[in-house]
């Protein structure tokens, strides 16, 4: 995958997030790294920065000293207890006296697991340093935040994103038309991973890379026709809308929280009176919260679809 | 014969307990230590998901060794006073008749919140001094409430038995009962149980009682414990109930699984109720019912189940005018069928997701959402890249075919 092929391998290769990179370089120089939190939107280089830091610190054999865990795949208290502890308690032999544990998507950990993590961090500070990666640092519990140096990643400025895509295109000997480049930027909205995946997919089709190819590729890649589902409900066909929802969840394995994010985005684009948009936002927010409490995705979202059917009927009657 | 098969076919010896060989070995090693003197850890903490045989294992163990089982369950150790009663028993070596005792504190998860902390503390005290072996069971031994208690216990994990293990047991029961069962039927029951042996046996009994043959159709159609016409009656009693109490009573009258009943109501609501405002109100009632079910899941407080029932019955009945536009037949909840059909698909998707995640430094969820949709297009469009990437991600032929066949 090009996302990996072109992932920078040293802090020196990272062109963006200048301030952050400089601070990280100073850690390498001092051969000392505090516990860190890397927070920021997806595709802005958080994981890359962590991996580069490790490679600069330990050199080519860095894998021996670094452990990468993804909290979404292995959340829960047991993983922290067992895996992390086993890794954290053995000493590293070499110039640098500690190992690094990169915990990706740390904001997806349960608060119990975070509590356990906090103790582990404290106990093994001598032998292991943690880099927690999260989209929202707010979801990390306060006691961990206070033990970590915070780093806030932001979306790349447009010209850097453009350079990035051009750099890959040049290496892969691709020709991108200007409107194609614009389309990628528009869709990926500063998320470089997304931009790179779209570019590679468009290149695989073997057609000139222009606006049309990009939009057709992205359209095909998005099975979650959220907009279609919402319109079906607004037109009064609840059963069909629910079927679309069911397909998204069961066939394509989309998570309820992702669907709800998309619904939220689409709602404000819908052709319904503003009064309803606000009402719907309230309902969507409530569903979002209920999902966090362990409710069933399809059932909660169906109730939302039923509200849309109601809205559709009201609008038709001119209310 | 109305004996539940879970009881009738309960293992009599530890050896008969399905699966969990390692755990059983640990249990045996621990109990043997007692032959000499009380071991350092005087209690055994068996934990694992529901229906995996934790309690049954303790009972079988007592049986194996000819010990008397002194059992207590959740309601008995709410307070420290209640537990102290056990302290007396525990301090003695044998019963009046010279039988040794095994003390079982079952379902520790049932202890809720701070109010019951005294009970837990008292159990810990009993363990420290007991002269009789003690067994504790719970779903999750790593619940923070058990942290002190845990230190004094030998931990044993019970894992979910595999589908094949469950299937084998079901086959055995069928042969005892003289039931000729299709392999596919048993396979489906075993799969639906997803590791819960108790529910698998209950399902088998519900589906095959009074029959000599059990076919795949019986299982796929009748699903969990419900007879179709009985369900139709309950549904109509709920949807068209005259009062909220009538609607609630419909559940009592029906011998149906509540989750399954919920599915029936949820599936059929939009077919019965055409008015958009009413449908919306009813779906909201179902969503609230589901919310309570979720809270039961996250708090393990089963008393909340009454609200789940309130909203799915009374809530539905009173939220619409009962003016149907002619008779509409009830439909089977297709979601259940779809869920078991697509389970295999979702499993393969997760495995692919994990493999990609490992390479691309992301989670399986993220891979499923952000990489797989694009990978499908690449695989379909470009044979050379397909080969290279499959090798790089370490995808086998089945996985590649899956990516190629399922359309975006």
Digit-by-digit pLDDT tens for chain B (408 residues) are 457 888 888 899 999 998 899 999 999 999 998 888 888 899 999 999 888 899 999 999 999 988 888 877 655 555 666 677 766 766 666 655 667 888 888 888 766 555 556 778 888 888 888 888 999 999 888 888 888 889 999 999 999 998 889 999 999 999 988 899 988 889 888 887 878 888 888 888 877 877 788 887 777 764 544 455 577 888 989 999 999 999 998 887 766 678 888 999 999 999 999 999 999 999 999 999 999 998 888 787 888 999 999 999 999 999 999 887 667 778 778 787 677 666 677 788 888 999 999 899 998 888 988 899 899 999 988 999 999 999 999 998 888 988 887 654
Is there a contact between B360 and A3 if contact means CB atoms under 8 Å apart?
Answer: yes
Q: Kindly identify which residue of chain A lies nearest to residue B265, measuring between CA atoms.
A: A299
Torsion of CA B294, B273, B313, A260, to 10 degrees: 10
Which of B150, B268, B283, B319 to mutate to probe the A interface, most A CBs <10 Å? B283
pLDDT tens, position by position, B225-267: 445 557 788 898 999 999 999 999 888 776 667 888 899 999 9
Shortest alpha-carbon distance between residue B365 and chain A (Å):
7
Measure CB to CB from residue B291 to each of A42, A258, A295 and give the nearest one.
Answer: A295
Shortest alpha-carbon distance between residue B331 and chain A (Å):
12
- The fraction of chain A above a pLDDT of 90, given in percent, is 45
Q: How far apart are CA A3 and CA A16, in angstroms?
A: 16
Length of chain B: 408
Return the structure tokens found at B173. 């029961």
Shortest alpha-carbon distance between residue B22 and chain A (Å):
19
CB B51 within 8 A of CB B161: no
3-state secondary structure of A102: strand
The dihedral through the CA atoms of B370, B371, B372, B376 has a sign that is positive
Shortest alpha-carbon distance between residue A301 and chain B (Å):
9
Is there a contact between A299 and B298 if contact means CB atoms under 8 Å apart?
Answer: no
Residue of higher predicted confidence among A75 and B275 = B275
In sequence order, the 6+-apart residues with CB closer than 8 A to the CB of B113 are none
Sheet holding B134-138, edge to edge: B68-72, B101-105, B134-138, B43-47, B153-157
Cβ-based neighbour number of residue B2 at 10 Å: 4
Return the structure tokens found at A52. 């580069």
Q: How far apart are CA A80 and CA A92, in angstroms?
A: 19
Q: How far apart are CA B353 and CA B347, in angstroms?
A: 10
Is there a contact between B369 and A254 if contact means CB atoms under 8 Å apart?
Answer: yes
Q: Which of residues 327-366 of B touch A (CB under 8 A)?
A: 335, 338-339, 342, 345-346, 349-350, 354, 357, 359-366
Return the structure tokens found at B163. 């589908």
pLDDT tens, position by position, A194-253: 999 999 999 998 878 888 888 888 887 775 678 889 999 999 999 999 999 998 888 777
A288 has a chain B CB within 8 A of its CB: no
Q: How far apart are CA A204 and CA A182, in angstroms?
A: 19
Is there a contact between A258 and B369 if contact means CB atoms under 8 Å apart?
Answer: yes
């Amino acid at each position: 995958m090009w996302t990996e092929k072109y992932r920078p391998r040293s802090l020196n290769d990272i062109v963006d997030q200048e301030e952050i990179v400089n601070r990280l370089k100073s850690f390498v120089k001092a051969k000392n790294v505090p516990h860190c939190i890397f927070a920021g939107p997806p595709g802005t280089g958080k994981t890359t920065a962590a991996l580069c830091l490790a490679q600069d610190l330990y050199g080519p054999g860095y894998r021996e000293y670094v452990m990468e865990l993804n909290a979404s795949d292995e959340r829960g208290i047991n993983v922290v207890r067992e895996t992390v502890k086993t890794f954290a308690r053995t000493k590293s032999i070499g110039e640098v006296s500690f190992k690094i544990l990169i915990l990706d998507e740390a904001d997806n950990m349960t608060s119990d697991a975070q509590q356990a993590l906090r103790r582990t961090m404290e106990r093994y500070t001598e032998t292991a340093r943690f880099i927690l990666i999260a989209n929202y640092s707010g979801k990390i519990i306060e006691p961990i935040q206070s033990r970590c140096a915070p780093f806030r990643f932001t979306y790349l400025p447009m010209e850097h994103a453009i350079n990035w895509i051009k750099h890959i295109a040049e290496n892969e000997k691709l020709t991108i038309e200007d409107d194609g480049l614009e389309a990628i930027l528009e869709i990926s909205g500063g998320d470089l991973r997304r931009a790179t995946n779209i570019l590679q997919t468009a290149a695989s089709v073997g057609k000139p890379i222009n606006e049309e190819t990009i939009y057709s590729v992205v359209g095909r890649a998005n099975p979650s026709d959220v907009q279609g589902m919402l319109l079906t409900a607004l037109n009064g066909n609840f059963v069909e809308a629910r079927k679309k929802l069911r397909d998204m969840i069961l066939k394509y394995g989309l998570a309820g929280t992702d669907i709800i994010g998309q619904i939220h985005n689409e709602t404000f684009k819908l052709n319904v009176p503003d009064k309803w948009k606000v009402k719907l936002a309230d309902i969507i927010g409530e569903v979002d919260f209920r999902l966090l409490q362990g409710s069933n995705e399809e059932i909660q979202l169906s109730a939302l679809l039923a509200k849309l059917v109601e809205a559709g009927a009201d609008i038709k009657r001119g209310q | 014969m109305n004996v539940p098969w879970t009881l009738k076919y309960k293992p009599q010896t530890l050896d008969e307990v399905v699966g969990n060989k390692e755990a059983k070995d640990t249990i045996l090693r621990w109990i043997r230590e007692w032959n000499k003197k009380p071991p350092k850890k005087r209690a055994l903490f068996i934990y694992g998901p529901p229906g995996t045989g934790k309690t049954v294992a303790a009972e079988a163990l007592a049986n194996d060794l000819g010990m008397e089982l002194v059992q207590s369950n959740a309601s008995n150790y709410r307070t420290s006073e209640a537990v102290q009663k056990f302290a007396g028993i525990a301090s003695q070596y044998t019963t009046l008749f010279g039988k040794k005792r095994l003390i079982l504190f079952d379902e520790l998860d049932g202890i809720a919140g701070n109010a019951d902390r005294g009970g837990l503390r008292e159990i810990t005290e009993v363990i420290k001094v007991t002269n009789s072996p003690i067994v504790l069971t719970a779903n999750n031994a790593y619940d923070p409430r058990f942290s002190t208690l845990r230190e004094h216990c030998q931990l044993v994990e019970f894992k979910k038995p595999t589908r094949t293990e469950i299937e084998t047991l079901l086959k055995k029961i069928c042969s005892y009962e003289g039931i000729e069962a299709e392999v596919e039927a048993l396979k489906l029951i075993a799969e639906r149980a997803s590791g819960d042996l108790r529910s698998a046996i209950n399902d088998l009994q519900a589906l095959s009682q009074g029959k000599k043959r059990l076919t795949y159709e019986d299982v796929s159609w009748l699903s969990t414990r419900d007879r179709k016409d009985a369900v139709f009656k309950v549904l109509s009693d709920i949807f068209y109930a005259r009062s909220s109490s009538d609607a609630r009573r419909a559940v009592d009258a029906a011998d149906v699984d509540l989750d399954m009943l919920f599915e029936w109501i949820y599936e059929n609501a939009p077919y019965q109720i055409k008015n958009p405002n009413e449908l919306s109100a009813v779906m909201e009632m179902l969503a609230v019912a589901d919310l309570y079910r979720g809270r039961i899941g996250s708090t393990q407080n089963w008393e909340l189940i009454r609200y789940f029932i309130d909203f799915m019955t009374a809530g539905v009945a009173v939220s619409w005018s009962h003016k149907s536009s002619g008779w509409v037949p009830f439909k089977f909840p297709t979601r259940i069928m779809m869920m078991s059909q697509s389970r295999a698909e979702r499993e393969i998707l997760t495995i692919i997701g994990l493999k990609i995640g490992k390479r691309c430094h992301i989670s399986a969820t993220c891979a499923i959402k952000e990489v797989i949709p694009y990978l499908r297009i690449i695989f379909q469009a470009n044979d050379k890249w397909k080969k290279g990437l499959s090798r790089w991600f370490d995808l086998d032929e089945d996985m590649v075919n899956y990516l190629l066949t399922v359309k975006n």
